[in-house]
Amino acid sequence: MARTRDIPDALITALRDARHVCILTGAGVSAESGVPTFRDAQEGLWANYDAQALATPEAFLADPALVWRWYRWRRDLVSEAMPNPGHYSIAKLAGLLPRVTLITQNVDSLHQRAGSTGVIEFHGNLFDDRCASCDTPTTADDTVDIPVCPDCGGNLRPGVVWFGEGIPEAALRNSSAAAVSCDVFLSVGTSSTVYPAAGLADLARDNAATIVEINPNPTMHAGSFDFVIAGKSGVVFPELIELLDV
Ligand code: BV8
């Protein structure tokens, strides 16, 4: 395949020499699967809503039926979507290197559908439901506008992390440990605006890792990365696989 951009030999060498590579993905990795990123204007019905305002406990408290409609719209959209070459290549990378930790901010299960295992879901999962009152994990009845908990009668909510909510303890612990111990940290398809996820690259750099940004639009943090690869994940990762798999 003709190389469509410069992936520096030094980066390939760093990846080949790495004992542990940590990959953090954001919504951009699912963009080539047709899943709108968080900061894209939302399509159609949702054009008048700000995703960041909807993904909050306050929005759910104010109008749980609206928030459920939004999440059901996203579930349908993601269920129709297919993993793209970026997802598949990230899954393949795990078989080429001694140790890869995949942390995703995405809630769409596309990494798992592409074959990645041990995925750390930093912001939860779109398809998990739990009770907003007693926290019991359960499966919501999709025929009801606002599904309720069979145990306590409280409203059910999607099992994602909303703005203002803490990251699941195990996900935070395991992600931080991976960032501290990795030799190379790849930050892919994320605008690096949401914390504490965006702080993982800093943690990796502060622990002597080589940090890399892969994004068609270099972010405001691009200057702090050792390598910035301006490209789509669905193009760059197949190229990385080709360069490593020799
Ligand atoms: C918390 C699940 C405290 C829901 C999401 C400073 C420090 C710490 C916290 C804060 C802080 N300042 C503000 C905060 C609070 C807040 C925050 O960070 N706000 C931001 C907006 C400033 N953080 C929080 O609230 C977090 N919690 O801090 O808790 C606490 C502690 C203890 C106890 C109580 C509280 C929780 C944040 C989690 C929010 N939930 N998702 C849902 O999905 O519905 S975040 C949401 O945004 C998604 O998960 C998404 O992944 C994430 C980040 O966005 P990106 O993934 O980066 O997507 P984006 O659209 O921005 O960018 C896409 C990129 O892809 C672009 O750069 C584009 O160029 C690129 N791209 C496009 N196409 C491609 C591509 N790249 C590659 N290939 C392509 N083809």
> What are the sequence ranges of the domains in the chain?
1-35+83-123+167-246, 38-80+127-160
CATH classification of 1-35+83-123+167-246 is 3.40.50.720, yes or no? Answer: no
Whether 87 is a known active-site residue: answer: no
Average pLDDT over residues 104-109: 98
With a 6 Å cutoff on the Cβ, whether 55 touches ligand 1 is yes
What pLDDT, on a 0 to 100 scale, did the predictor assign at position 245? 84
What pLDDT, on a 0 to 100 scale, did the predictor assign at position 41? 63
| Closest C-alpha among 201, 128, 124 to residue 170 | 124
Q: Nearest C-alpha to atom 41 of ligand 1 is from which residue?
A: 123
The residue assigned the tokens 């020799």 is 246
Separation of 165 CA from ligand 1 center, angstroms? 12
Ligand 1 nearest-atom number relative to CA 86: 78
What is the helix (H) or strand (E) element at residue 169, kind and residue range? helix 169-181
What pLDDT, on a 0 to 100 scale, did the predictor assign at position 47? 77
What angle, 0 to 180 degrees and rounded to 10, lies between the N-to-C axes of helices 9-17 and 233-244?
70
Q: What is the pLDDT of residues 31-42, one digit of tens each?
A: 999 998 887 767
Q: Nearest C-alpha to atom 76 of ligand 1 is from which residue?
A: 189
Average pLDDT over residues 45-69: 91
How far, in Å, are 17, 93, 146 from residue 96 at the CA level?
Answer: 12, 5, 45
Greater model confidence, 118 or 49: 118
How far, in Å, are 53, 92, 156 from residue 97 at the CA level?
Answer: 39, 9, 41
What pLDDT, on a 0 to 100 scale, did the predictor assign at position 1? 40
Ligand 1 nearest-atom number relative to CA 55: 44
Q: What is the pLDDT of residues 180-215, one digit of tens each?
A: 999 999 999 999 999 999 999 999 999 999 999 999
**Is pLDDT above 80 for 2?**
no
Average pLDDT over residues 141-148: 94
**Is pLDDT above 70 for 5?**
no
Q: What percent of the chain has pLDDT over 90?
A: 89
With a 6 Å cutoff on the Cβ, whether 193 touches ligand 1 is yes
Ligand 1 nearest-atom number relative to CA 32: 80
**Is pLDDT above 50 for 175?**
yes
Q: What is the pLDDT of residues 7-20, one digit of tens each?
A: 999 999 999 999 99
What pLDDT, on a 0 to 100 scale, did the predictor assign at position 4? 46
With a 6 Å cutoff on the Cβ, whether 44 touches ligand 1 is no
Average pLDDT over residues 101-112: 98
Ligand 1 nearest-atom number relative to CA 232: 78
Q: Nearest C-alpha to atom 17 of ligand 1 is from which residue?
A: 194
Residues 116, 113: Cα–Cα separation, whole Å: 7
What pLDDT, on a 0 to 100 scale, did the predictor assign at position 84? 98
What pLDDT, on a 0 to 100 scale, did the predictor assign at position 48? 79
> Structure pTM?
0.96
Q: What is the pLDDT of residues 128-139, one digit of tens each?
A: 999 999 999 999
Assess contact for 209 and 183: CB atoms under 8 A.
yes
Assess contact for 205 and 183: CB atoms under 8 A.
no
Question: Quick one: CATH architecture of 38-80+127-160?
Answer: 2-Layer Sandwich (3.30)
With a 6 Å cutoff on the Cβ, whether 159 touches ligand 1 is no
Residues 222, 206: Cα–Cα separation, whole Å: 16
Who contacts 158 (Cβ-Cβ below 8 Å, separation ≥6)? 67, 68, 71, 124, 126, 128, 129
What pLDDT, on a 0 to 100 scale, did the predictor assign at position 3? 45
Mean pLDDT in the chain?
94
